[in-house]
Amino acid sequence: MKYDIIVLGSGPGGYVTAIRASQLGFKVAIVEKESLGGICLNWGCIPTKALLKSAQVFDYLKHASDYGLTINEFDKDFGAVIARSRGVAEGMSKGVQFLMKKNKIEVIFGTGKVKPGKKMDVTDKDGNVTELSADNIIIATGARSRELPNLPQDGKKVIGYRQAMVLPEQPKSMIVVGSGAIGVEFAHFYNSMGTQVTIVEFMPNVVPVEDEDISKQFERSLKKSGITVMTNASVEKVDTSGNGVKATVKTAKGEEIIEADIVLSAVGIKSNIENIGLEEVGIATDRDKILVNSYYQTNIPGYYAIGDVVPGQALAHVASAEGILCVEKLAGLHVEPLDYGNIPGCTYATPEIASVGLTEKAAKEKGYEIKVGKFPFSASGKAKASGNSDGFVKVIFDAKYGEWLGCHMIGAGVTDMIAEAVVARRLETTGHEIIKSVHPHPTMSEAIMEAAAAAYDEVIHI
């Protein structure tokens, strides 16, 4: 069974890569051990957004009187909320199946292992092994929840994100270890449903990769919603011998024991690079990542890697972009290496967070003289009318040339607004060009124009 390209893994990196390769005329096969769409579609990006939408609707019901509406009785059905999320994921997976057929991509289910000579063994669920060969093999095996030695996951009392999405019943209390996107999104969901949530974060700020102003605003929002936040703290050990969990948490004040029904470990991800044949082929790795060049070629000709298994941001849209770039290069098209400094990051809790480019601190550390502008959503007519006026837009420009160095947002719907900054930065748009680009009123997006105007002392509405 010979192909032009075999893709190992069908997540947002793998399946997008396969489709683009087929569009370019390659004969393509994709190997998947579980479900088409990978972790993102089945256990990550998509089903979590379904859960968060249920939480948002529930929050609206709780605050119906703020909008002049009277609802006497309402409640949640936790099982139905989980079932809706699974249904959304299953529907999306079927959509990927359709795309595979539409693009004449052969789907082979089983566990793939790369071999020398541009070959791959695929072992199906019955243990039968099929050997495939190709001119090019692209590894897109993704990642899984990372486990800490002192926080082993048993899948029941200490869980990862997969278990958090399908709990049979809602816990009364939960400790979330880690305040990255995964941690705070689940913290928000369970808190909205009525679970008592405590977040334990090792770093001084929650969502520590974000601009410090964003982190501080977000922590205030978490606390306002009733979530307990512990920063500069670490879980030293957990005792699961009783009915619930007793977590020993170390802080600057010493150690304290926190009890909860369940602990969610959200301390990052671990690349899936074990037992896929890398050592046998001689593919180089370093610190849990496959080493590749700017076009995702490994050190062994004919073998490529994209997505969470290579250095760079572990994000679905990054994996898709890398895969497209990889196969376009194989097809002989003119392509430019991906600009990892212009990748948007999004967190879908309430309020949402979206950012791209340098933080204020990073810009100063790089030696830029900067202009900073902020515009609060409390001054936005659309935000006030919608009842979602928490948050702001913060923009950072190079004072000398007007280059847009960074954009950071927190508020309702900002994950749908960040693309303006991504495109503008790619086009090397200046602050003045943003100010002079007419934005529609009333919209949340005009806060970007207002923030840019604030950076140049031209803001109107504050």
Catalytic residues: 441
**Distance between CA 438 and CA 17 in Å, rounded?**
37
Query: Is 80 marked as binding a ligand?
Result: no
Query: Is 221 marked as binding a ligand?
Result: no
Q: What are phi and psi of 103, to 5 degrees?
A: -95, 10
Angle 151-83-148 (CA atoms, 0-180°, nearest 5)? Answer: 10
**Distance between CA 306 and CA 116 in Å, rounded?**
19
Q: What are phi and psi of 446, to 5 degrees?
A: -65, -15
Of 85, 109, 87, 101, the closest CA to residue 36 belongs to 109
User: Using only C-alpha atoms, what is the Rg of the chain?
Assistant: 24
**Distance between CA 23 and CA 76 in Å, rounded?**
45
Contact between 195 and 171 under an 8 Å Cβ cutoff? The reply is yes
Query: Is 387 marked as binding a ligand?
Result: no
Q: Is 71 exposed, middle or buried (0-12, 13-18, 19+ CB in 10 A)?
A: exposed
- Classified as helix, coil or strand, 7 is strand
Contact between 354 and 378 under an 8 Å Cβ cutoff? The reply is no
45-62 vs 181-193: helix axis angle to the nearest 10?
Answer: 40
Query: Is 268 marked as binding a ligand?
Result: yes
Query: Is 112 marked as binding a ligand?
Result: yes
Query: Is 182 marked as binding a ligand?
Result: yes
Query: Is 254 marked as binding a ligand?
Result: no
Query: Is 180 marked as binding a ligand?
Result: yes
Task: For residue 5, give both structure tokens.
Answer: 């390209």
Query: Is 345 marked as binding a ligand?
Result: no
Binding-site residues from annotation for NAD(+)? 178-185, 201, 268
Which positions make up the binding site for FAD? 49, 112, 308
**Which residue ranges are tagged as binding site?**
49, 112, 178-185, 201, 268, 308
